[in-house]
Amino acid sequence: MAVQRRFLYHGEVVAYAARLDQPRLRDVKGAVALPGTGGRVSLLETCDPGALVRFDYAASSVSGERYGEAYETRATCSIEGLDVCGVLRADLLSAVLTSSHVNEHTFHEETVTLKGLWVNGEYRATDSQILTRVRACPTLSKLKAAAAEDDRLKKSLASAGTSFDESGRPRPTSAGDLACHLFDPGSVRFRADGTSYEVFLGEYLVAERQRRLTMLRVEMKPTDAAAPAGGESVEGTVILLELRVNGYTHP
């Protein structure tokens, strides 16, 4: 008997996730996942005004639909009025990623927006030219080819840890993906109130059948390793607006 092939959707969104050791905090908000059968799921979150990480609201949604012969997975997230530890602010983080499968996977970054970013009291402008370049590469093979010819794209891939072969083409990791930053600068470092901050912007993993965007990741650690517990420094990781889209036929 022939086994009937079917399509399994896969889409995930996390609006906010924190894993802090100082002060101790384990928290996730605005997290939704799509069942393999597809459909639609959405969630609206607000935040405690006195929290270490605050935002006015976060909206997350994932959908999986079939349109003719195409299977489409869409992940969407928006965060407004973000404040991280009083030293990092953003008016708006927003993204919409789409994965479409007919005979192969193609991807489209419908929206990737970062507005009103302030870092330690200083406004930070971001350049989205890399996003424009990646949008022109809906498949992994096209991104590889573009990176071999585009010095700016190559620089973004290299800054995110992607290596290159002798011919100048990017070399995927053992997991089969390439990494880049969709914004320039891709990271910002600063110190404030006894804490060292490293902020990563628009981290993007591109694979043959999956793409994952982490819009904003903040790594924090005390500036003095010997600082007493209970001090003003912060230690841990905060992730804001992470989306993943893919899908596959089974078996």
Question: For residue 57, with 0-12 CB atoms within 10 Å meaning exposed, 13-18 middle and 19 or more buried, which class applies?
Answer: middle
Q: Would you give the DSSP letter of residue 48?
A: -
The range of the structural domain enclosing residue 14 comes to 6-250
What's the pLDDT band for 247 if we cut at 50, 70, 90?
confident
| pLDDT value of position 83 | 96
Over range 5-18, report the average pLDDT.
93
| pLDDT value of position 87 | 95
- What value does the CA radius of gyration of the chain take, rounded to a whole number of Å? 19
What's the pLDDT band for 190 if we cut at 50, 70, 90?
very high
Residue 93 · residue 113 · CB < 8 Å: yes
- Establish if 76 belongs to a structural domain: yes
Return the closest-CA partner of residue 42 out of 72, 67, 64: 64
Is the pLDDT reported for residue 10 higher than 70?
yes
| pLDDT value of position 152 | 92
Each residue of 230-241: pLDDT tens digit? Answer: 557 899 999 999
Q: Would you give the DSSP letter of residue 184?
A: B
Is the pLDDT reported for residue 226 higher than 80?
no
pTM metric for this prediction:
0.92
Is the pLDDT reported for residue 110 higher than 70?
yes
Is the pLDDT reported for residue 153 higher than 90?
yes
- Establish if 176 belongs to a structural domain: yes
Is the pLDDT reported for residue 1 higher than 60?
no
- Establish if 132 belongs to a structural domain: yes
Instruction: Specify the number of domains making up the chain.
Output: 1
- Establish if 1 belongs to a structural domain: no
Could you give the CA distance from residue 248 to residue 245 in angstroms, rounded to a whole number?
11
